A = this chain, B = another copy of it.
Amino acid sequence: MTTTVTRPLSKQPIPDHAKRVFQGILFEVYQWDQPLFDGTTQTFEKLKRPDTVLIIAVTEDHKIIIITEQQPGKSPFVGLPGGRVEEGEEVEAAVIRELREETGYQVKELQLLDNIQPISKIDWAVYTYVATGCTKFRGSQVDAGERITQQLVDFDQFVEIASQDTFADIELTLKILRAKLNPKKMIELKELLMNS
């Protein structure tokens, strides 16, 4: 069921000769000598972190799963299910696993909506997937580092929730606002999510 997707390029890639100067729990720090426009060089620094997935999960009766997530030491936030791609894990396998863990839903079909590197100073890819035909097969099973509640909403409610400035996934908010400004795009998005 899973296929390998291409990793998006960074706008400012870490060169091959860069040195890893620190390895933490989540972040690695790389440094390298970067030639400047006048021929001098300067030490540049950039981070690397595990890639993440975001999932627009649509149930078999055409509802979209929105979650409210609480993490220790952080205000609760409303957004999409998702999480980190583990070391050595295929991206689509991470989508299937994260959706199962966070919501208890099982994916029928996956489609890549978007893959970007959002921050130029961090080597970090974010993959957004549309997962359709999702069916519930058990409760969610999150670890002690998360508390998650879910709600099922229809397409119009989804558009309103994802338009709010409190919504956690800013790239999706951008996409939704662009669709609101362009009826053709909104129809395409609705078809992608609802007609399957």
Q: Size band of the A side of the interface?
A: 35 or more
Report A63 CB to chain B, min CB distance, Å.
25
**Number of identical monomers bound together in the oligomeric complex:** 2
Query: Which of A11, A34, A73 has most chain B Cβ within 10 Å?
Result: A73
Chief secondary structure at chain A's binding surface = loop
Contact flag A25-B31 (CB < 8 Å), given A75-B11, A180-B181: yes
Residues from chain B with a CB closer than 8 A to the CB of A36 are: 72, 143-145
| A47 adjacent to chain B (CB < 8 Å) | yes
From 148 to 175 in chain A, residues with beta carbon under 8 angstroms from any chain B beta carbon are 165, 170-171, 173-174
Residues from chain B with a CB closer than 8 A to the CB of A45 are: 24-27
Q: Which of B25, B43, B178 contacts A25 (CB 8 A)?
A: B43
Query: Which of A21, A37, A75, A119 has most chain B Cβ within 10 Å?
Result: A37
State whether A13 touches B44 (Cβ < 8 A): no
